[in-house]
Amino acid sequence: MSIAENYQNIEHEMKRAILHFYCADKVSDIPDYAGLVDAGGALKLPQIIAVSKQQSGARIDEALAAGLRHFGENKVQEAQKHWAERKAKHDDLVLHLIGPLQSNKVKDAVALFDVIHSVDREKIARVLKAEMDAQGRQLPCYIQVNIGEEEQKSGVLPHELDDFLAFCRNDLSLDIKGLMCIPPVDEPAGIYFSLLKKMADAHDDLALSMGMSSDYAEAALCGADFVRIGTALLGER
């Protein structure tokens, strides 16, 4: 299937999952408390970030031709290879860093990316802020939460979030827009998405970056603002 078809199918799947969950035939039947319908009566679907890591230039160009404009990469150097020239050609691209960040890559990351989804520790938050100041580029950021409290995963633990958020916002004046998570692989993702949603709601102004190829429909149902989709959209890596 083409990337354009995948793109359509994914949007359709997200919509279908929401209608199905609320036993609704049409968007106007979705109850208000779901928080998924905007003031104009339209369904609020997440913005799709096409995750282009390890994809060919041809696939990336096909995705651009299909109208995708938000792209995600998890490594700074690979992202430069994919996007330095393409960004100069398309001024409406939004590039998201979704992978862990090392201090020595922060300078290049701040120069290239538009949104950082992986702020996960004090040190990187400090270095990011200093570099943003130096470059005069205050990027919107997301705090990565280790929602399943897994040893091998990065992110702040759920009980650390309040302090870390206060540190980022009050001490550093980082522009924290929301929370990001990657749930444990072999468990149903929905409960983790609900948990992250609760944490975001507790701070009322936080958005949500959650959902990948295997679970984007559940993420949409839980109110994701961004879903990060690689293989289901661009094909196998």
Ligand X SMILES: *Cc1c(COP(=O)(O)O)cnc(C)c1O
Using CB under 6 A as the criterion, which residues of the chain lie in contact with ligand X when the complex forms?
Answer: 51, 53, 74, 98-99, 182, 212-213, 228-232
Reading the block at residue 108, the tokens are 């290049």
Sign of the CA dihedral 159, 160, 165, 167? Answer: positive
- Provide Rg for the chain, Cα atoms: 18
Q: Which is nearer to ligand X, 161 or 210 (CB)?
A: 210
Instruction: Quickly count: other Cβ atoms within 10 Å of residue 54's Cβ.
Output: 16
Sign of the CA dihedral 35, 38, 43, 46? Answer: negative
User: Smallest distance, Å, CB 208 to ligand X?
Assistant: 13
Q: Which is nearer to ligand X, 54 or 194 (CB)?
A: 54
User: Smallest distance, Å, CB 233 to ligand X?
Assistant: 7
Tell me the C-alpha distance between 179 and 202, whole Å.
12
User: Smallest distance, Å, CB 234 to ligand X?
Assistant: 8
Amino acid identity, position 110: V
User: Smallest distance, Å, CB 74 to ligand X?
Assistant: 4
Q: Which is nearer to ligand X, 161 or 224 (CB)?
A: 224
Measured from each CB, the residue nearest to ligand X is: 230
Q: Which is nearer to ligand X, 24 or 140 (CB)?
A: 140
